[in-house]
Chains A and B, each alone.
Chain A
Amino acid sequence: MTASVLVYLDAVHADGLRKAQRELLAAGRILGPVSAAVTGTPSEAALAQLAESGVETVYTGPADLSGYLVAPTAAWLAAVAGAAAEAGTAPSAVVVDNSAGGKEIAARVGVRLNAGVITDVVALEADGTAHKSVLAGSYEVRAKATSATAVLAIKGNAAEGAPEPVRGAADLRAVDVPADALANAARVTARVERPKTGRPELTEASIVVAGGRGTDGDFGPIEELADVLGAAVGASRAATDAGWIGHDFQVGQTGKTVSPQLYISAGISGAIQQKAGMQTSKVIVAINSDPESPVFEIADFGVVGDLFKVLPQAAEEIKRRRG
């Protein structure tokens, strides 16, 4: 029986794989040959893309499950793993994205397959060893599933690398949603799209400029510097709680965890819950008017000063140097 790695991609659009989907496939390939579980019916173009990404078998689930919260999708993904096992390619790992929903799909697939689940994976080794940070980024851990199948929720930027394309088209197999999957499922009865900002995704961006209570509600200087740098905008909970910016921009324990190349923190004191979401950033720059602020303990470069003076000056200077 040959092992394979089952990568859950959700829907694949005709215009190509998203960066996050390519990264998941790359992560899967570290462990072995990959097959993909794709919801909906992928187009010819999407199938060609998948073959180019080294996918040998594409499992499809034609039923639309987007009106339910995670449970039926997890039931289907576990059924796909079962179908793969029957075909002689029992998955050594099931790989999903590390979004809130992705982790929950992993959680339920783990129960269904009696498989160990590891979330928040930042790097993988060929033998299945997963690297993650724990305790608000203060420890680095290596963990491994002891079960026949590992279920892994992988963070963005964990893997890259060009695939070995599969010759010809990927093999297509439809797997039905198990009959019991919808019985106890929660239904989405209304959905409101969030407005798009035109800036990079917070968790995918290589630069984040974040503002806190020190902005006093004026995110102008934060946004201006972010746009000059092509960065995403983030915020502390004090700023999101005050309603100055949406909760989906919150960085920290109960917001997003980011580890960009550069994190610029302005008017944020650096409480433990804020640090939990950003202290694995490569370079940290802090601007705060209080020299005693704890954020300076983790800053590679700190400015004791007024963000309303420092940030606009920095933005002007970058523009000037670029000519």
Chain B
Amino acid sequence: MGDTLKIVVLVKHVPDAQFDRHIGPDRTLERSESILSELDEYALEAALQLSEARGGEKAGNQVIAVTMGTPDAANALKKALQIGASSGVHITDGSLAGSDASVTSLVLAAAVRSLGDVDLVLAGMSSTDGETSIVPAQLSERLGVPQLTFASDLEVTGRTALIRRDGDSTSDTVEASLPAVVSVTDQINEPRYPNFKGILAAKKKKIATLGLADLGLEAGQVGAAGSLTRVEQADPRPARSAGTIITDEGDAGVKLVDFLAAQKLI
């Protein structure tokens, strides 16, 4: 196709949902046992497919994985490099702790700008810890480029990107010109695993570490200080108390109805 793409993939380092996750006394999430957010693997896969269809890195395409997070978040980038990203950018700074979506999008926008002529920013549909699904929309607003979000299908032809967005009552085809911010759902593809070759190749790939000053931001604009929302209290939801479990002996349907009637649900 001739046209090469410079793609940024936003990946977040999040606590593994397979373990119990906890909010600490400072009302922020405990970040041990963290991994590359499962839903961001779909964005990375979409980026790699777009790059490969244009001849890959050899032909001049770039897939740059970007994360904002703790020093440990570099592990999410390493995983992205093993899966196939060409390089990584790690934004980390003590003053970023406690950033809300508005700050996250401010910092990520500055990072994307610092990378020069980016054609596409790809994100997951939601972070598996924050679960707000608003960072991509805010990023699009801040960068002043089109928003193509919740893509279950993505095609890029020349300078035009086209997605399928499945809403509640309609399925829409949505189109915009590049550069654009795109978020993808888990319907879009089947993410690949890192293979041995990828793991070896990743050792030679570069991760750039950026602090606030590198992005032209100040401490007061970010972290808890710069955030526009505050968590006042966080309580674990009481565990559901163990219910009644019966084994069907031919009348479980009737017993089920007895239960519903006793609960006044029918």
Query: Which residue of the partner chain A has the closest CB to B134?
Result: A107
Contact (Cβ within 8 A) A304 B247: yes
A191 to B166, CA, bound (A): 10
A30 to B40, CA, bound (A): 37
Give, as a whole number of angstroms, the nearest-CB distance from B126 to chain A: 8
Interface positions, chain B 204-240, Cβ under 8 Å from A, are 227-237, 240
Interface positions, chain A 119-157, Cβ under 8 Å from B, are 119-120, 129, 133-147
From the candidates B145, B227, B256, name the one contacting A303 in the complex (CB within 8 A).
B256
A104 to B131, CA, bound (A): 13
B43 sits at the interface (CB 8 A)? no
Contact (Cβ within 8 A) A317 B171: no
Q: Could you say which of B110-118, B172-180, B193-201 contacts chain A?
A: B172-180
Contact (Cβ within 8 A) B149 A104: yes
Contact (Cβ within 8 A) B134 A104: yes
Contact (Cβ within 8 A) B169 A100: no
Contact (Cβ within 8 A) A317 B253: yes
Contact (Cβ within 8 A) A188 B254: no
Contact (Cβ within 8 A) A119 B254: no
Interface positions, chain A 265-323, Cβ under 8 Å from B, are 272-273, 276, 279-280, 283-285, 287, 291, 296-306, 309-318, 321
**List of B residues within 8 angstroms of A247 by Cβ:** 152, 166, 187
A104-B146 contact, Cβ under 8 Å, with A116-B229, A296-B245, A300-B240: no
Query: Which residue of the partner chain B has the closest CB to A129?
Result: B232
**List of B residues within 8 angstroms of A71 by Cβ:** 140-141, 146-147
Interface positions, chain B 106-141, Cβ under 8 Å from A, are 125-126, 128-129, 131-135, 137-138, 140-141
The listed residue with most A CB atoms (<10 A of its CB), out of B147, B149, B175, is B147
A101 sits at the interface (CB 8 A)? yes
Q: Could you say which of B56-64, B71-79, B257-265 contacts chain A?
A: B257-265
A41 sits at the interface (CB 8 A)? no
**List of A residues within 8 angstroms of B144 by Cβ:** 184
**List of B residues within 8 angstroms of A312 by Cβ:** 253
From the candidates A119, A120, A188, A302, name the one contacting B174 in the complex (CB within 8 A).
A188
Number of interface residues of A (CB under 8 A): 90
Query: Which residue of the partner chain B has the closest CB to A138?
Result: B237
A201 to B240, CA, bound (A): 26
**List of B residues within 8 angstroms of A302 by Cβ:** 243-246
**List of B residues within 8 angstroms of A106 by Cβ:** 134
Q: Could you say which of B17-25, B46-54, B86-94 contacts chain A?
A: B17-25
From the candidates A108, A144, A287, A305, name the one contacting B138 in the complex (CB within 8 A).
A108
From the candidates A144, A194, A273, A280, name the one contacting B171 in the complex (CB within 8 A).
A194
A139-B138 contact, Cβ under 8 Å, with A188-B172, A191-B171: no
B252 sits at the interface (CB 8 A)? yes
A117 to B255, CA, bound (A): 46
A201 to B167, CA, bound (A): 13
A139-B234 contact, Cβ under 8 Å, with A107-B101, A291-B247, A303-B246: yes
**List of B residues within 8 angstroms of A119 by Cβ:** 132-134
Query: Which residue of the partner chain B has the closest CB to A193?
Result: B170
From the candidates B171, B172, B235, name the one contacting A139 in the complex (CB within 8 A).
B235
Query: Which residue of the partner chain A has the closest CB to B254?
Result: A317
A186 to B180, CA, bound (A): 9
Give, as a whole number of angstroms, the nearest-CB distance from B120 to chain A: 13
A190 sits at the interface (CB 8 A)? yes
Contact (Cβ within 8 A) B102 A117: yes
Query: Which residue of the partner chain B has the closest CB to A111?
Result: B141
B153 sits at the interface (CB 8 A)? no
Contact (Cβ within 8 A) A143 B232: yes
Query: Which residue of the partner chain A has the closest CB to B247?
Result: A304
Contact (Cβ within 8 A) B187 A140: no
Contact (Cβ within 8 A) B257 A314: yes
Contact (Cβ within 8 A) A186 B174: yes
Give, as a whole number of angstroms, the nearest-CB distance from A269 to chain B: 14
* The 3 A-B residue pairs with the shortest CB-CB distance in the complex, in nearest-first order: A313-B253, A305-B248, A116-B228
Chosen A-B contacts, 8 in total, with CB atoms closer than 8 Å, are: A103-B133, A108-B140, A116-B229, A119-B134, A142-B234, A194-B168, A302-B246, A303-B252
- Given contact pairs A138-B20, A301-B256, A306-B248, a sample of 14 additional A-B residue pairs in the complex whose CB atoms are under 8 Å apart: A99-B168, A104-B149, A107-B132, A110-B134, A117-B134, A138-B236, A141-B235, A184-B140, A185-B176, A186-B148, A284-B240, A297-B242, A301-B243, A316-B253
Chain A residues packing against B (C-beta within 8 Å): 69-71, 74, 99-101, 103-104, 106-108, 110-112, 114-120, 129, 133-147, 184-194, 201, 207, 229, 247-248, 253-254, 261-262, 272-273, 276, 279-280, 283-285, 287, 291, 296-306, 309-318, 321
